[in-house]
Amino acid sequence: MKDVLRELKSLSLKLQRRETSLVDASCYIQQTIDVLTAMKISGGKSTQKVEEGIATGMFKDVELSESRPKINRLQFFQSIIDSLKKRLPGPDQVRMLKPLDKCFWPEQRSALILYGENEQSTHRGVTGKK
């Protein structure tokens, strides 16, 4: 659980920045999903330390004894991943908003004049509106 909380804290801090756009948020959420998916399989730093302690029967000089049922690690991680995926903006939303994000704007003025027009015409064609 500590590994998951560490990743969610990091994501939360990134999402709270003033300069974070929807495009950035989408990338941050996807990165967190990727990290948690990897941890689901191999575990994080804290998971590995606990597993070593379980193997030896000691963790930080405390004898371990099992008294409660264990949390299903795979199910726990998958639940967090599924929850994050629900909050992930759709690819169409991100694509439509990219022209509004200054970090994606071309540096040359001639390229900037019509920047975003292709994205708008693609969007209009999808919705049927003009």
Per-residue pLDDT of the chain (130 residues; tens, 9 = 90+): 889 999 999 999 999 999 888 888 888 999 999 999 999 988 888 887 777 777 787 777 888 777 777 788 889 999 999 999 988 877 777 777 777 776 777 777 777 677 667 655 444 444 444 4
Burial 93-103 (b: 16+ CB within 10 A, else e): ebebbbeeeee
The pLDDT score that the predictor gives to residue 23 is 81
User: Do β-strands 58-59 and 62-63 pair in parallel, antiparallel, or remain unpaired?
Assistant: antiparallel
The C-alpha angle 81, 12, 89, rounded to 5 degrees, equals 55
The pLDDT score that the predictor gives to residue 34 is 95
The pLDDT score that the predictor gives to residue 101 is 72
Q: What is the pTM of this model?
A: 0.66
The pLDDT score that the predictor gives to residue 95 is 74
The pLDDT score that the predictor gives to residue 129 is 44
